[in-house]
Amino acid sequence: MPIKAILTDIEGTTSAVSFVFDVLFPFATRYLPEFVLTRADEPAVAQQIEAVRAESGEAGASVERVVEILLGWIAEDRKATPLKALQGMVWEQGYNAGQLKGHVYPDAVEALRRWSEQGYHLYVYSSGSIQAQKLIFGCSEAGDLTPLFAGYFDTTSGPKREADSYRGIAAAIGLLGDEILFLSDVVQELDAARDAGMQTIGLAREGGELGDHQTVASFAVIDLTRI
């Protein structure tokens, strides 16, 4: 079945792992405590605080304790939906203030633009919240890339290592699994997407192979007509 849509991961795929670990996560560690403590009564923040209490099993946790839990989750890179939602809110302030600029590899920018012009529908699936996804592409070093994308999926569609998440995304896109190409740097994500019937290509920016998935080091060598 020919490819009609491309679904891409962000960290390690379109964007450097170092940008996430050395820039975004430290930014959140620095600014998230004050953000949560001063805005705890705002409905959008209060909702996430409640979700942290529920996910951590600490129903009566104070806001200060919730902040401690969140900082622990950042340190362990936990893909918890309420953490990801709050990180997105904190990063928005950094992007708006010009303190952050999204990193997207030039080869990814070029390929995404070309595929969009050729009529492929482009989607994102990342553990980062949809708000965070729109920010990294909207405030990128290459300018606003959001017009290239037809839609965004995050952990509210399910964990990235479970096939059911990809089945749900294919249904939401309105295509058969094998009409969608999924790109990622994580073999468990590629396995889950393939189990759901999607085509896969692994991105190994430092070289090497990702399991038995076709693996490339750059978007520049992906040929959509040969999948």
Residues that bind ligand L4RZE5RM (CB under 6 A): 9-12, 20, 24, 79, 84, 87, 126-128, 132-133, 136, 160
Scanning 84-92, 182-190, 194-202, 204-212 for contacts with Mg ion by CB under 5 A, the matching segment is 182-190
Q: Give yes or no for residue 12 binding Mg ion (CB under 5 A).
A: yes
Tell the smallest beta-carbon distance from residue 117 to Mg ion (Å).
Answer: 25
In total, the chain counts a number of residues equal to 227
Q: Give yes or no for residue 185 binding Mg ion (CB under 5 A).
A: yes
List 125's β-bridge partners, or say none.
Answer: 153
Tell the smallest beta-carbon distance from residue 203 to Mg ion (Å).
Answer: 8
C-alpha 166: how far from its chain's center?
14
Q: Are 124 and 8 in contact (CB under 8 A)?
A: yes
Judged by CB under 5 A, which of 6, 7, 11, 215 binds Mg ion? Answer: 11
Element (H, E) at 200: strand 199-203
Nearest to 175 by CA among 130, 108, 122: 122
Scanning 4-12, 158-166, 171-179, 215-223 for contacts with Mg ion by CB under 5 A, the matching segment is 4-12
DSSP string of 77-90, one letter each residue? T---HHHHHHHHHH
Residues near Mg ion, by CB under 5 A:
9, 11-12, 185
